[in-house]
Structure formats: C-alpha cells, structure tokens
Amino acid sequence: MNWKPNPFAIVGLAMVTAPIIAQAKIYVTADQVQKILLPNKQLIKAPIIITDDLQERMRLASSIRYPFQGDRIWKASDGSWLIIDEVVGKHEMITYAVGIAPNGSILGIEILEYVESYGYEVAEAQWRKQFVGKSAKDPIKLNQDIQNIGGATLSCKHITDGVKRVAVLYDLALKTK
C-alpha cells in the first residue's frame, strides 16, 4: 500500500502552523506628535524619576502592570505636558502619546506605533477623541465613558487604562512642577 498525502491536509496544516506576521505601523513620530497635540508650543524635555510608590499608585489607578518609563515627558512653558507611553496590545507594545492641558484635562491622544496584526482601529480619530477633556477625576474606563471597538477590545482596554495612568501621573507628580 502506497501512502499519498492529501494535498488539502498539507495546505491546512501549513495554514495552522504558519506564523502570523505582524507588521509595525508607525503613524507619527515623537517630533510630529508634539506639533499635533501641542501646536505652536516650545517643549522642553522634563523626565522624572518614577519611584516605587508612584509606580504602585499609578498601577492601582489604571491596573497596568507594565512599568511606566519617566524619560519621555515634555513640558511647555504654559504648563501643558506631552507624555509618551507604551502598553501591551494583545501581544505587542502600542506606543501612544497624551497631550495634557495645564488644568490636567486631556488635549488629545495619538498612536505613534502599532504592531499587532489587528485592532489598529484604535488609531482612528473617532475613537481617540473620546479622551479629550477627561482628567484623572473621570473614570476613563472602557465600556463606561470610553466605548469599545469590536475586534480591538484588548487594545482599547489597554490604551484606555494607559491614558488613565498618564492622567493620574499628572495629578500625582506633574501638576506641581
């Protein structure tokens, strides 16, 4: 008896075992995001040291365990801030920026880099504009004051939690600087 492989089984096996290749999409650079979120403002790099206590307080407010890096923070002379942060999407990191007004309200958010193979809808302006005007006093919670996008739930949740973390960072450490 001669065994002959079924060609459909081979194709099916190849599809199951083939890796899903995600391609990084860079939407804007750090220089471009400064001009978008804080136009006509001169920004000065203002990194801060994130103490264990501050890290824990930010984690409790946002539920994000990935440590915040305090080196990508800029301040404008009027008291506005630009903060670049990262959160995990489903498997890969999402880099985003938050513009904060001198009163602590969010001016806007921008997605800088998105690597996941799906869920990229979080970069659409319609979804991002939900954050404008919110502050640490607002829930900034998915399915509460921020709507979800079907098929992008984890990215939506993690970015929403990340924005909450940045708003809390402003309240705890930046507004007095």
Cα–Cα dist 168/174, whole Å: 9
State the amino acid at position 138 in one-letter form: D
pLDDT 10s digits, 31-40: 999 999 999 9
Computed over its alpha carbons, how large is the radius of gyration of the chain? Answer: 20
Q: What is the 3-state composition of the chain as percent helix, strand, coil, each rounded to the nearest 5?
A: 35, 20, 45
pLDDT 10s digits, 85-108: 999 998 999 999 999 999 999 999
State the amino acid at position 56 in one-letter form: E
pLDDT 10s digits, 117-173: 889 999 999 999 999 999 999 999 999 999 999 999 999 999 999 999 999 999 999
Angle at 138 between CA 132 and CA 144, to 5 degrees: 90
